Amino acid sequence: MSKTAQALIPDAADTSPAQELDHALRAASPAEVIEAALRAFGRGQVALVSSFGTESAALLKVMADVDPAITVFFLDTGWLFEETLAYRDVLIARLGLRDVRSVEPVEETLLREDPNRDLWFADPDACCRIRKVEPLARALEPFSAWINGRKRFQGGARAQIPVVEDDGPRLKFNPFANVSREEIEAIYGSARLPPHPLVASGYLSVGCMPCSSRTAPGEDARAGRWRGRTKTECGIHATKTA
């Protein structure tokens, strides 16, 4: 950890760096949280992870306003909608993002563990592991901190997320932890951000094609993810990155 980061954490002997930063940033705006991450670790040690999904443009807009050169990792699983890939390109151009890196699974792993491309059905946890969890862990190895877009209003395991938390050897910043759905909509409106193309078709949360479905009126926004299964997360937030 840098000397700057240590200076931001005055009582590290009694509490962890994540707890101290979380306490300090509990009422901070999303932009202030990102700025704090950059002050603590420097641009070269901070990455943002984005799915370029239905709510991703809001966080990317806030990040771009702070520093559009922050590294952005995009997990290209090989199962994404063409609309998501096109949306990624639109947002990169629209927001002036300077360092978006696609992260893909290892081909040898896919051939060994998912030769018929049906692992998503037989064992969705294993599919997420080889296509998302392991690739992201490799991508984050050189970094000291990462930023993501989870929100408490999404419920489930996300209902109590802190603003800053430990994630193995690095810290994880959740700048949108405290924001409301209305605040996200306000960011889209004020910045005139384009919606994800699939929102108009009823997809309120978009991941991989086989594991995403339309959401019925009155359902939770993430109800269409892994429909009919107990699975609610891909695993990148449940597994501490190495």
Q: Note the pTM of the prediction, 2 decimals.
A: 0.89
In the block, tokens 């009582």 appear at 11
Helix or strand or coil: residue 26?
coil
The bridge status of strand 145-147 relative to strand 100-103 is unpaired
Mean pLDDT, residues 43-48 = 98
Give yes or no: 127 in active site: no
Residue 185 has pLDDT above 90, yes or no: yes
Mean pLDDT, residues 42-56 = 96
pLDDT of residue 12: 46
The residue with greater pLDDT, 237 or 103, is: 103
> What residue spans of the chain are helical by DSSP H?
3-7, 17-24, 30-41, 56-66, 82-95, 107-113, 119-122, 124-128, 134-140, 181-191
Task: Report how many domains make up the chain.
Answer: 1
pLDDT of residue 4: 47
Please report whether residue 236 resides in a domain. no
Please report whether residue 222 resides in a domain. no
Please report whether residue 186 resides in a domain. yes
Mean pLDDT, residues 120-149 = 97
**SS3 of 139-189:** HHCCCCEEECCCCHHHCHHHCCCCCEEEECCEEEECCCCCCCHHHHHHHHH
- How far is residue 39 CA from its own chain's centroid? 20
- How far is residue 130 CA from its own chain's centroid? 17
The percentage of the chain sitting over the pLDDT mark of 70, rounded to a whole number, equals 92
Mean pLDDT, residues 187-204 = 96
Structural domain containing residue 110: 3-211
Please give the structure tokens belonging to residue 131: 């296509």
Rg (CA), the chain: 18
Please give the structure tokens belonging to residue 77: 């699983």
Q: Report how far residue 80's alpha carbon sits from residue 90's, in angstroms, rounded to the nearest whole number.
A: 16
Could you tell me which residues come within 8 angstroms of residue 64 by beta carbon, excluding any fewer than 6 positions away? 95, 96, 97
Residue 3 has pLDDT above 90, yes or no: no
Please report whether residue 9 resides in a domain. yes
Mean pLDDT, residues 134-160 = 89
Q: 10 Å Cβ neighbour count for 152?
A: 16
Please report whether residue 67 resides in a domain. yes
**Confidence band, pLDDT 50/70/90 cuts, at residue 155:** low
What CATH number is given to the structural domain containing 30?
A: 3.40.50.620
**Confidence band, pLDDT 50/70/90 cuts, at residue 235:** confident
Q: Report how far residue 233's alpha carbon sits from residue 236's, in angstroms, rounded to the nearest whole number.
A: 8
Please report whether residue 17 resides in a domain. yes
Q: 10 Å Cβ neighbour count for 44?
A: 13
Please report whether residue 120 resides in a domain. yes
Please report whether residue 7 resides in a domain. yes
The bridge status of strand 71-75 relative to strand 46-49 is parallel
Q: Which of 127, 208, 211, 234 is catalytic?
A: 234
The residue with greater pLDDT, 152 or 241, is: 152
Mean pLDDT, residues 176-188 = 94
The percentage of the chain sitting over the pLDDT mark of 90, rounded to a whole number, equals 76
- Fill in the DSSP letter of residue 28: -
In the block, tokens 């984005």 appear at 50
pLDDT of residue 160: 77
